[in-house]
Amino acid sequence: MPLKAKSILFALCAAFASLHVAPNAVAQSDANRYTMRSNMIGIGGVNRLETYLSPFEYTGTELRFLHESMRLTKKMNGRVSTQQFFEGNFSVSHSPGHDTNYLAGDFDWRIAWHYNWKPLQNLRVLAGVQTGASIGAVYNTRNGNNPAQAKLSADIAASAMAIYRFRLLRRTFSARYQFDTPLLGLMFSPAYGQSYYEMFSLGHYDHNICGTWLGNAPTFRNLLTLDAPIGAGILRIGWRCDIRQSHVNHLKSHAWSNVFMIGYVKHFRLVKQKDGDSHKYIL
């Protein structure tokens, strides 16, 4: 075959391949530029036990906010996504006799990496690992001695999620369920009968940094959400079931929260900066 004919044949083959490969490659590389961010607030009930402060269970009302971001990465051919949570809560709970209260608050940060599967066209299943830390405090309004307990913990958790998209009234909705449970971690806890004065003023350490696992700190975080398009935006409604429990240093603690949440979702697309576009930037 003449050299010129070979060149023409090669060019035609390359052009044909680009028509089939390029769109997928572009779509794959472009997917990791999209970031989902949501903000939700909620209110619900809480049941709390802190045997360091009182032998009784307290019940009351909890306020909560949740900020979430999630996006695909380039890892494993774009099948790995990353997720971050910033979550806080504040609750007021009452003793069985309504003669004293707990004022409690927590702030959590968590980050997760999930591997993504698509067993069905509209179903995405994710599984991976999550890590994070939590800080908070519980204050008893009646106790004179040891009126408060500090909360500090960090863990590595297993995380799983299912996302299902469906059409309704000519709009696309998205339902998601996520379950996270810590496997190993560390937490701060006073010993039974030990005061904070002994720990921090006298320096009496008594195994106050405790290892945690499913056996002594069974904790389960559930999140169910529904994203509904409203006008040009996306409304998110959800249910947060946060079960935190521990039994260390002969002290029992639990905080069981069931919270209805509502908020909004935004999708952002990251754009690569170009020198020629500098006149479009605000800063």
Same domain? 18 vs 131: no
Q: What pLDDT does 269 receive?
A: 81
Same domain? 97 vs 214: yes
Same domain? 10 vs 130: no
Q: What pLDDT does 201 receive?
A: 84
Low-confidence ranges of the chain (pLDDT < 70): 1-32, 271-283
Domain holding 7, by residue range, is: 1-31
Check residue 275 and report its DSSP letter. G
**Number of domain units in the chain:** 2
Q: What pLDDT does 30 receive?
A: 61
Same domain? 10 vs 89: no
Backbone angles phi, psi at 17, to 5 degrees: -65, -40
Please work out, in degrees rounded to the nearest 5, the angle formed at the alpha carbon of residue 203 by the alpha carbons of 200 and 205: 100
Same domain? 75 vs 4: no
Closest CA to 233 of 266, 263, 261: 266
State the Cα–Cα distance between residues 239 and 243, nearest whole angstrom.
13
Same domain? 132 vs 23: no
Q: What pLDDT does 203 receive?
A: 83
State the Cα–Cα distance between residues 106 and 276, nearest whole angstrom.
46
CB atoms within 10 A of CB 231: 6
Same domain? 9 vs 40: no
Same domain? 6 vs 129: no
Closest CA to 86 of 103, 64, 102: 64
Same domain? 232 vs 106: yes
Backbone angles phi, psi at 276, to 5 degrees: -75, -15
Backbone angles phi, psi at 82, to 5 degrees: -120, 145
CATH of the domain at 275: 2.40.128.100
Q: What pLDDT does 274 receive?
A: 65
State the Cα–Cα distance between residues 29 and 227, nearest whole angstrom.
25
Same domain? 158 vs 201: yes
pTM score, two decimals? 0.84
- Using only the alpha carbons of the chain, give its radius of gyration: 25
Same domain? 42 vs 79: yes
pLDDT (tens digit per residue) in 214-231: 999 999 999 999 999 998
Cross-strand pairs, 258: 45, 241
Q: What pLDDT does 276 receive?
A: 62
Q: What pLDDT does 280 receive?
A: 57
Look-up of token digits 């700190």: 217
Handedness of CA 206, 209, 214, 219 (dihedral sign): positive
Same domain? 130 vs 252: yes
